[in-house]
Amino acid sequence: MSEKSELRAATLARRDAISPAARAAHAMAAAEHAKPLLVDLRGRVLSGYFPIRSEADPRPLMSIAAARGVELALPVTTPAGLLFRRWHHGDPLIPAGFGTSGPSPAAPSVIPDILVMPLAAFDRRLHRIGYGQGHYDRAIDGLRADGHKPLLIGLAFAAQEVEKVPFEPHDIPLDFIVTEEELIAVQCA
C-alpha cells in the first residue's frame, strides 16, 4: 500500500469515527470560519458538493455564500471529467456519479470562481489527498488551461490533518483549508 493510501485509510477512519451530530455542528463552525473568504463575491460562482459518507458538509457554507449573492453550482461526474452545473437550494438532484448527487442535465454548465472540495487528508502546506481518482485535479487543470483560476478551498475536519502529505508533480495545492477549528492559509516566513 502506498503512503498516500495508508494516510487516506487512517484519516478516513478518523473522519468516520466522528458522530453525525458532531459532524453537523462542525459544518456550522466551519462555515463561520469560511466567512472571511466570502466577501465581495456577488455574482461569482461557488461550486460546493453534497456530502457522501462522512464528508464535511459544505451546505452551511454554501447557504452563507448564497445569502451574499454568490451563485451556487455542484459538480457532476461525466466520462469527460467533472462538469459544474448551476444549482439553487430546492432544485431537484439526481445521481451525479461517484455516489454523489447533482443538478439535472437541464441545469446550465458554469465555470466556478470558487471551488470547495472534500478532502481525505491535508497538511499545513495546503496539500491534500482526495479519494485517489484525480477528479478535482483534472478539473482544476482543465479550468486553468482555459484561462480560469478558481479559488481552491478544501473542507475537512481537524481530525483529517496529517503532518505531511506526499506531494507529486500532478498534485495541486489549495489556497485555503477550512475546518471546524480554523481557516488555514499558507504562512509566509
Q: Give the integer Cα–Cα distance in Å for 184 and 115.
A: 16
Residue 189 pLDDT > 60: no
Q: What's domain 3-184's architecture?
A: 3-Layer(aba) Sandwich (3.40)
Kindly indicate the confidence band of residue 188, based on its pLDDT and cuts at 50, 70 and 90: low
pTM (two decimals): 0.94
pLDDT, tens only, 21-35: 999 999 999 999 999
Kindly indicate the confidence band of residue 187, based on its pLDDT and cuts at 50, 70 and 90: low
Q: How many CA atoms lie within 13 A of 131 on its CB side?
A: 11
> Which three three-digit cell numbers place residue 11?
484519516
Residues belonging to the binding site for ATP are 4-8, 128-136
pLDDT, tens only, 28-55: 999 999 999 999 999 999 999 999 999 9
Residue 77 pLDDT > 50: yes
Mind spelling out the 3-state secondary structure of 110-169?
CCCCEEEEECCEECCCCCEECCCCCHHHHHHHHHHHCCCCCEEEEECCHHHECCCCCCCC
Residues belonging to the binding site are 4-8, 55, 128-136
Residues belonging to the binding site for substrate are 55
